[in-house]
Amino acid sequence: MKLVIQRVSRASVFVDGAVVGAIKQGFLVLLGVGTEDTETECERLSQKMLNLRIFADENGKTNLSLKDVGGELLIISQFTLYADCRKGNRPNFLNAKEPKEAERLYEYFCELCSRETHVEKGVFGAEMSVELLNDGPFTIILE
């Protein structure tokens, strides 16, 4: 499982021009599910992400977590995180989990996170447009 986490002041996702998810302060998360991923990776990475201390405290130090600041999550499925571009110029996605099982794990990851904070989502498998105001910028990749 791969997560690209961007600390944002706000973020929105659109499908066919309509907003399907929007947050204020929090994380925009692009989530890719790989062929070997299971519920265990969802559990481990969701806890790691929720407890990342990358928000400023009263002294300006990155010492507060998403939960500490009451932040929200916008989680968007992103199979292209598993693009393999080593051969040729056209990426292959053989390392991405097949869609039905990837969607199940994506939904499980979102459900785990929603137990601890507000979660908005994109639409799995849809063509989406994402708009964000990156705060920092502060971007982290978890695998």
* CATH of residue 77: 3.50.80.10
13-33: per-residue pLDDT in tens?
999 999 999 999 999 999 999
CA of 115: how far to CAs of 33, 34, 50, 112, in Å?
21, 24, 11, 6
pTM exceeds 0.85, yes or no: yes
40 within 8 A of 10, measured Cβ to Cβ = no
74 within 8 A of 27, measured Cβ to Cβ = yes
Range of the domain at 104: 2-142
**Which residues are designated catalytic?**
78-80
Counting the structural domains of the chain, the total is 1
72 within 8 A of 120, measured Cβ to Cβ = yes
Angle at which helices 39-50 and 99-114 cross, to 10°? 40
The per-residue pLDDT of the chain, averaged, comes to 96
- How far apart are alpha carbons 19 and 49 in whole angstroms? 25
Q: What average pLDDT does the segment 97-115 reach? A: 97
